[in-house]
Amino acid sequence: MHPCQASCLTAHEACVYNCFGIALRRSRRPEGDRDRSMARWFSIVVVVLWLAAMGSLVYRDVWPHWAAGDPPAQMPEPNSAQSERRYQSGVFMPQGRVGTSWVRFYEREDSDLIHTQTDLYGLPLLPPFLVDSELTYTQDNRLDTLKLQIIGAPMRLEFNGENYGMDFSCELITGPGPTDRYGFKLDAATAATMSDSLRPFTLLKDLRVGKTWRLRLINPLPALRGGRAQFDSYLVRVTGRETIEHAGHSVDCFRIESSNLRAWADQTGRVIVQEVDLPIFGTLTIRQEPYDESLRMSSVSRRRIQTESPAEVISQRPGNTSGKAQ
């Protein structure tokens, strides 16, 4: 603006004129400057979105592994007559009941034993069989030995493991010959939470929302279809509280979740319902029910007879003297 013209304008008119001039000069900025400014803001937005995505990934997938603590205690209170030491659960699929599972706890002087027997007779593509497992824990809740075998299947399948300090030595047996034995080692810390995929939990004490731990499950079902037993690792977390219906009552429970696994435990840590997603077979629902020792004994005897040859069965019948010295 020329100085003579500026003297003829009021202060308000001069302010408007100057603002208009600034906007006009900015609109005349070269195209190259505008392109560089847009590229700069685009880069800033991309970096912010990348940092947000990485932060979400770390919080959701990486941090829980770093924060995973010790697993909950799985044994009843020692020397307590009030602690229940025998549990029974029905195993269900959408088509109905497919089996029954029993767990018994034994307290010893220097160790504790969890003996689990799961009788399955309704899984698709598989004959009836019994999964028999024994887990021995030291007094500091460390897994010392593990023995698992399939009874009633057309093939031999056993798994044995023993703790040797830093390593957990394992052997998988899938047949009668020496070539049917596979030896390998697991990290002792990883194997400390090993369990059976057909019944991952029975008792989880001292739960709280947010508690996280690692779990390793043995899945023997693929071996019964000509494959190999699977060892799957999970990160388990207590995600919240939930009220569920069980045996005609509303029960306030801790909800426990992992990939392919969900469970509900009451205030004492007793797991009353759990769901396991098994590849090919679908979802197993394991629901606690009253203990029946006679049903357990009859089921185990039936599967053992199913495994034995006819000659072995005849030789074990009462009154049979064949094969004995006369």
Q: Are 148 and 158 in contact (CB under 8 A)?
A: yes
Judging by beta carbons within 10 Å of its beta carbon (0-12, 13-18, 19+), is residue 130 exposed, middle or buried? buried
Judged by average pLDDT, the poorest of 54-68, 92-106, 289-303 is 54-68
b/e sequence 177-189, b meaning 16+ C-beta within 10 Å: eeeeeeeeebebe
Q: What is the mean pLDDT of the segment spanning 302-310? A: 70
Among residues 291, 242, 254, which one has the least CA distance to residue 72? 254
Q: Are 216 and 164 in contact (CB under 8 A)?
A: no
Which pLDDT tens digit goes with each residue over 8-54? 545 555 554 455 454 445 555 555 566 677 778 878 888 888 888 77
Q: Which pair of structure tokens corresponds to residue 132?
A: 């028999």
Which pLDDT tens digit goes with each residue over 256-272? 999 899 999 999 999 99
Would you kindly state where each structural domain of the chain is located, as residue ranges?
3-53, 86-307
pLDDT of amino acid 269: 93
Judged by average pLDDT, the poorest of 149-163, 196-210, 236-250 is 149-163
**Cα separations in angstroms, 254 against 205, 215, 231, 321:** 11, 17, 26, 57
Higher pLDDT, 80 or 172: 172
Q: What is the mean pLDDT of the segment spanning 279-297? A: 93
**Cα separations in angstroms, 234 against 3, 83, 130, 139, 147:** 80, 29, 24, 25, 21
| Gyration radius of the chain over CA positions | 33
pTM: 0.72
Higher pLDDT, 170 or 326: 170
pLDDT of amino acid 232: 84
N-terminal to C-terminal alpha carbon distance within the chain: 134
Confidence of residue 325 (pLDDT cuts 50, 70, 90): very low
Dihedral of alpha carbons 307, 311, 315, 319, sign: positive
Among residues 274, 236, 310, 273, which one has the least CA distance to residue 70? 236
Q: What is the mean pLDDT of the segment spanning 300-306? A: 85
CA distance 135 to 78: 17
**Cα separations in angstroms, 66 against 6, 56, 233, 261, 323:** 71, 15, 15, 21, 62
Residue whose structure tokens are 């996280």:
212
Q: Which pair of structure tokens corresponds to residue 198?
A: 């057909």
Q: Are 171 and 157 in contact (CB under 8 A)?
A: no
pLDDT of amino acid 15: 52
Judged by average pLDDT, the poorest of 183-187, 244-248, 284-288 is 183-187
Q: What is the mean pLDDT of the chain?
A: 80
